Amino acid sequence: MADIRGLVLQSRFDFLEQEQGEGAVQRLKERLTPEHLPMVAEQIFPVNLYPFALLQDIDRALLEVTGTPEEALFSRVGSHLGLLLADRYFYNYIEGQNPQGLLDQLGRLYPYLIYLGGYTVAHSGQGQSRVAIHYPEPIHRPYCLALQHALAAMLTRCRAEALTWQEDTCAAQQAEACHYRFQWQQS
């Protein structure tokens, strides 16, 4: 069974609390399976590894609690995670307005921040990058949506203007990896 860092889980709870208050977080926890509730009942440690199945359960409960359509919800969840990561771990790339440098550094930090899967990046020119994330087992669509919006938010924070991206393949749809193409203009 695959694992994911607690930072990803905690960002889900932080997002919900920011959007709907502490009561919504409690309602989410009440919707978790008996197997998963003890894992998040107290404190989530950002560097600890948690079962990916727990994130799937949290995402299911998040949809129930918010009543928001999947794509709309997880684009916002991902943007929240991306801004958190960018501001906390990639300050030099934000100040230097270096989106490609950020993507490169994310490759080095990915095992410590997210952990799930293997991250690679390739650049095909100024303002053009491809990101691939290979997963050891099937994932779910909300995770893909959140991760691509997290990447987009990080790039935008680095002044990647007129950012567009395309998802070429999705591991949640029976592909072996998620492949994203990002294009932007430098400010």
**Does residue 42 register a pLDDT over 90?**
no
Give the start-to-end residue ranges of the domains of the chain.
Answer: 3-70, 73-186
List pLDDT tens digits, range 132-148.
999 988 899 999 999 99
Q: Which pLDDT score, from 0 to 100, does residue 179 have?
A: 96
Quick one: tokens of 136?
């050891």
- Give the DSSP letter of residue 117: S
73-186: CATH topology: H-NOX domain (3.90.1520)
List pLDDT tens digits, range 129-187.
999 999 988 899 999 999 999 999 999 999 999 999 999 999 888 888 999 999 999 87
- Give the DSSP letter of residue 51: E
Quote the pTM value: 0.95
Quick one: tokens of 137?
């087992």
CB 6 within 8 A of CB 48: yes
CB 94 within 8 A of CB 175: no
Q: Which pLDDT score, from 0 to 100, does residue 175 have?
A: 83
Candidates 129, 132, 115; CA nearest to 2 is 115
Q: What whole-number distance in Å separates Cα of residue 122 and Cα of residue 7?
A: 25
